[in-house]
Amino acid sequence: MNITAQCCGLVLLVVLLVFYLRQKRIKLHTEKAFQRVWAFSLLNLSLDILSVVFIFNMESIPLWMVKLVCKLYVASIVATAMSALVYVLEDAYSKHDKNDKKKVISFLTGVINTVIIFACPIRIVNDGAGTVYTEGPAVLVAYFFGFCIFLALALV
């Protein structure tokens, strides 16, 4: 089971949290948005690790549960990107600007993206030689939405 990179990512997130908590904060309006990006990143990495563990242990875990965890992981990719977009919107517009409409549109877009991901089928691949991954329409849709969100990030 190769989850070394994900575990390194978790360590980096924990180190970032330690540095963040040790510093005095000045209560910027972007602080909560940053905390959401950190939390979604942690959730994304945790679900990635969990999906690999579930795929490796498919014989003892119901298939519907393995697929659910895999879809949650794929959906968390989009959720993490959406949280980054909201963070950038918070930072790009002053607190006095009316960016609530943009945040609501971003949130609704994320919900719609997640519903579409869960509606699409997902296939689980375990080649027996240590390579495990998911593929299929749910993954392609998530990557497409993630790419679109990152394009939106570049345009903000």
Q: What is the pLDDT of residues 106-152, one digit of tens each?
A: 778 888 999 999 999 999 988 877 788 899 999 999 999 989 988 98
C-alpha closest to that of 33 among 93, 123, 114: 93
CA 141 to chain centre: 14
Q: Which two tokens stand for residue 53?
A: 């563990």
What does the alpha-carbon distance between residue 39 and residue 27 come to, in Å, rounded to a whole number? 18
- pLDDT confidence tier of residue 94, bands split at 50, 70 and 90: low
C-alpha closest to that of 90 among 100, 76, 80: 100
- Give 78-91 pLDDT, tens digit per residue: 999 988 888 887 76
Q: What is the bridge-based pairing of β-strands 123-126 and 132-135?
A: antiparallel
C-alpha closest to that of 35 among 108, 43, 103: 43
103 backbone dihedrals φ, ψ, rounded to 5°: -70, -40
pLDDT at 24: 78
Q: What is the arithmetic mean of pLDDT over 30-34?
A: 83
Q: What is the arithmetic mean of pLDDT over 49-55?
A: 93
- Give 1-25 pLDDT, tens digit per residue: 578 889 899 999 999 989 888 887 7
Q: Is 51 helix (H, G, I), strand (E, B) or coil?
A: helix
Q: What is the arithmetic mean of pLDDT over 16-40?
A: 84
Task: Please check whether residue 52 is in contact with residue 130, taking contact to mean a CB–CB distance below 8 angstroms.
Answer: no
pLDDT at 8: 92
